[in-house]
Amino acid sequence: MALTPAERARRYRQRQSDRVVLYRIAGNDSLLLALIEARRLTERDAQDRAKVEDALSEIVQEWARRWAK
């Protein structure tokens, strides 16, 4: 589902307000397989870019919390 320009702008403003930054990373099938084997994603969910991004975000945030202590 494509977002309207107004919806994209709203989401952008909300991220700014929440102090959230989006980072892009490169990945391939090995990354997806690792997420599946770690039970972070199902095979079906691995086909959904938003779910992959959410899983990766959770992993990075967990890592940051551990190292920030």
**Using one digit for the tens of pLDDT, what is the confidence trace for 1-30?**
788 999 999 999 999 999 999 899 999 999
* 30 within domain boundaries: yes
Full residue range of the structural domain in which residue 38 is found: 25-69
pLDDT at 69 (0 to 100): 77
* 41 within domain boundaries: yes
Q: Which two tokens stand for residue 17?
A: 């307000």
Query: How many domains in the chain?
Result: 1
pLDDT for 35-54, tens place per residue? 999 999 999 999 999 999 99
* 62 within domain boundaries: yes
pLDDT at 51 (0 to 100): 96
Q: Which two tokens stand for residue 2?
A: 């494509």
Q: What is the pTM of this model?
A: 0.78
* 19 within domain boundaries: no
* 9 within domain boundaries: no
Nearest Cα neighbor of 40 from 25, 20, 23, 62 is 62
* 4 within domain boundaries: no
* 13 within domain boundaries: no
